[in-house]
Each structure stands twice: as C-alpha cells, then as structure tokens.
Chains A and B, each alone.
Chain A
Amino acid sequence: MSTIFTFVAGVVGTVIIIWLYNYSQNHGKIKWYKWFGVITWYLWTIYGISFVYLNIVYHETRAATIGAFMFFVISIIGAILLARTIGILKTAGQKSDMPVSKEG
C-alpha cells in the first residue's frame, strides 16, 4: 500500500508542478517563495495523509482523528491562501484567471 501511495503522491506532485509551470507561462512568473510555499503545502498534505492512514491501520483512533484535524485544516487554509497568493483564486471583485464554464 505504501508503494502505491508513494507512486500516487509522485504522480500528483508531478502534475501539480507541470500545471503550475504552464500556468506561470501564461499568467506571469511565479516567484521562488511561492514555489517554496507550494512545495511546503504539498509535503504537509502528503505527510498528513500518511500520518492519518498509518494511525488508522494501527487502530490509533485518537491519533488519526487529531492528526486529520491538525493536518487537513492547515492544509485547506494553506491551499486557499496559496491559491489567492499565486492568483488562481481571486478575491471578490477581482476576475479570476481561471477559465469559467458558462454552462456550469
């Protein structure tokens, strides 16, 4: 299971890097500290998933619950802040750079 998890984590990480790289080509360069933020967020999230998964496997219910809360709340807040900093997510009044489906 850990091999599959590591493989999936690698694939997701690669997709995020390619996606952000191309995003920066189209919407302006992403500064180094924003890349650093993305990598930190990614590692935090991956390690959070690993922590929760392993504690569930070993029946450490309390550790899994507290770990999920600690890792994922910070991960979600971090994702929103990063998306706004990079410009993927605009504040109200700003037009997002992301294409929006008119049918949606």
Chain B
Amino acid sequence: MLSEKKKSDQRQLFRTTRRNFLGLGAGLATSAGLFALLNKRHLASAATNKALASTGMDGAIVKQLEISKGMFGTTEIVGEIKRISEDMHGFYQAAQGYYGEDAKNQIRRFIPKHPLGGAISRMRTFIASEDAVDGEANPDKLSIPDPERMSEHIKKTGLFLKADAIGIGVLPKFALYTHKAPPISKVLYEGTASLDDMTPVVNDHPYVIVILVDQDLYTLKGSTGYDGISGSQSMMSYLTSGMIACCLAGYIRNLGYNARAHHCTNYQLVGTPCLISAGLGELSRIGDSVLHPVLGVRHKMAAVTTDLPLMPDKPIDFGLRDFCSKCMKCAEECPAGAISMERDQTVFNGYKKWPHDIQKCTTFRVTNRDGSSCGRCLKVCPWNNKEKSWFHDVGKWAASKFGKQGHLLKEVDDMFGFGNEAIAEYRWWLEFPELY
C-alpha cells in the first residue's frame, strides 16, 4: 500500500497542463510526420532503384563512375587485356590433369557426389545446347520503347523471371573468349565432347545484360562453407540464372533483335568484366569474383549479349578496393590458402587484381572430402552473411565510407561472430559423408 502522500506526489509528477500536453503532442506529431515523409522519400528512392538497378544498396554508399582512360570501374588497367581461351578455366585445367591425378579423377564427381547437387547439376545440361542459348531473331521487328524505357523494361522482366539483381553494360570485347570449349557437362559427365573441339568465338553484340541469382543467405549461414550443400548452392544459382538468361534471350529474339544467352554450361565470355560494366559490383579479393553491395559474392551470374537498343548502366564504386585491401578475412579463412594476403594488387594480364592461386582453389574444391565443392570465402566475407537490419546497414555504410579501416571493421565482425558460425537452426539439408 502506498501512502496517500506518495500517491499524491506521483499524481503530481504525471500531471501536466492542457497547454503543455497539447504542445508536446503537436511536437511529437510533427516529428512523426517528418519522419514518415523522409521514410517515404527513402522508400520511393528504393523502389526506383529496384526498377532501374534491381535492388537498393542497403547502407553502402554507391557512386556511379564515368568511363575513364586507365580505369574500368575501380579496376586499374595498365596494359592490353588479352582475351583468353575457355579451356584456361580452372575446371578445364583440372579435367586435363594439370592439377594432379586426384583432381582429374574427382572433378567428374565433386558435384554429383551429393545427391541434391547431382540432381541440380544434371538439369543444367538441358539448357546447354546452342538451341537453348541462341537462335534466329524474329524477322519482323516489333515496336519497342526508347532505349531508356526499354532498359527499365528488360530489368523488370529479369526481376519477373526471378533474378535477384540485373544490370546492363557495354560488352567489353576483352571479356569474350578467343575460343569456346564444349559444355563442361558433355566433356566431364557425358563424354560426348572433348577439349579438341574448341570453336572460335565471334560475337559483335554491343550490350550485355547481366543476371545475378542469390545462393541463399540462410543456407550459407547454416553451412561451414565447405560441407555437402556448397556445391548445390552453386548449381542452384547457375541453373536458375541460366534459365532466366535463356528466357530473356528468347524474349529479345521474339521482339526481332539478336540475343544470345551465356551461362555456366555454355559461355562465350568471362563474367567478371561484364558484371563490372553493368554496375553490379567491384572486383574483390576473392579470385576474379565481383562483389555486389547487397549480395556480396553470394551469387552466380548468367548473361545475355544483344543488339537490342538499350541504355547501359555505369560501373560503380562503393569503397570495396580500400576495404578488401585491409580486411583479408577471406584469405585468413580460406581452407586451401588460395587467397592472397598481399595488401596491394598486382598486374595480371593488363589489369590490377589481388593474386589468387586458381590451382589451389580448384584442387581443394574438386577434392574436398568434407563435402561438395567449397564456398568458405562466401561464408565469411563481411559483405555476404548479413540479413537486412539497421546495424548491418550501419556496418555497410562504414565499410564503404571508411574502407581503409577495413581491418577494424573485420575485428568487429569477428567479435560478434558474424560469418564464423554454422548456425544449426538453418541446416535443413542432409549430409552424406560416406559419399564424399
């Protein structure tokens, strides 16, 4: 029981005049109104981003860059970038035995050894044929809007087809292979083609539409990065992005313009420069992977090259070069030791990048006995393993603004355990260690 005096004191404490109460109410209502207005503007801006650039940037400060001499996005060009042949690719090298007998033998089963990975991977072969990726354009061109509106429409079409991000770039000619290998599935699994059947690449399309599909955040959070699901994550994103690219290319051909899809079982090009050109990210420390401000490197890409009149996007800069030069979490965590700990980039084929040991990376992935393939770098990269929340937005803002302090931000990331734990609640898949 409270005394009467105390009750009286408490009543006094909460008592206010009508004028003060109304004043406070008006102040709060004005503040709420201003907040709602600002938030609405923010939401409107995000909606435009979704239509134009496919996604908001979740906290990162993203600048669009003009094309300048010596720079390709934030990648320094220091000489001629020579086109390469597709069989220089790590998996083709392993298949030819350049990475040792174990890698040569294991490459045929490193994905199919997990039942789910095998099932998804097999489906990719159905979109590998030339009929699936290319064809004759409709001889009667249909009426289409101006390039700006058409670009917006193509992006919305990609999102409708379930792309997670989509951009349009000028096709960098150095992205095209000199020679194209037969589909790796036919070389490895079906045995119906060999690497003697290389064909020269001829492609004069001016634009490239790039499609990204997420490898699934929560699966990644449940995984160690190199257990049974890793290969399936890759294959799922490859298959889905490939399907989207084939549909989109077919749609453009039906409109009366030439278009060819490029996906993991039938490429004519290297994805990395196309992603940069389409404003979908910056070159990261992780091999030749392009890091997207929202998806990180937790994606797989497919592309459509076309002569459809479009308005291309510009390369972007969100401070990743500074951040990757200091963070190095992927390099510390890489089980193969394939990612460089060098702070500075070095020159490779006419451009600057962090060195990456493709042999170690490929060999570990194909011979991994703890699971199928590997994506440990995706798992631990601070840009990859975050759901949307205010504190991760703050983190991304800080990473893009103060990239030179990347080592401190990495320490904070480690302190909270982000990306380092395999969260049991998200482990939905079955493991078959006896098959690995």
Which residues of A come within 8 Å of B, CB atoms?
10, 14, 17-19, 21-23, 26, 47, 50-51, 54-55, 58-63, 66-67, 99-104
Contact = CB atoms under 8 A, between A and B. Distances in A.
Interface bin, chain B: 20 to 34
B197 to A, nearest CB: 49
Contact of B416 (A26, A50, A63, A103): A63
26 contacts: A14-B24, A18-B24, A19-B14, A22-B13, A23-B13, A26-B13, A47-B390, A54-B389, A55-B416, A58-B387, A59-B426, A60-B416, A60-B418, A60-B423, A61-B421, A62-B417, A63-B418, A66-B415, A66-B417, A99-B10, A100-B6, A101-B2, A103-B1, A103-B2, A103-B3, A104-B2
B19 interface: no
Given A59-B425, A60-B417, A66-B415, A99 B9 contact: yes
B391 interface: yes
B24 to A, nearest CB: 7
A26 B13 CA distance: 8
A101 B1 CA distance: 8
A99 B418 contact: no
Contact of B6 (A18, A21, A61, A99): A99
B5 interface: yes
Given A59-B423, A62-B417, 14 more contacts: A21-B16, A23-B13, A26-B12, A50-B390, A54-B391, A58-B389, A59-B424, A60-B418, A60-B423, A62-B421, A63-B418, A99-B9, A101-B3, A102-B3
Interface residues of chain B: helix, strand, loop or mixed (majority)? helix
Interface of B: 1-3, 5-6, 9-10, 12-16, 20-21, 24, 28, 221, 387, 389-391, 415-418, 421, 423-426
A66 B3 contact: no
B183 to A, nearest CB: 39
Given A50-B390, A67-B416, A17 B24 contact: yes
A103 B1 CA distance: 7
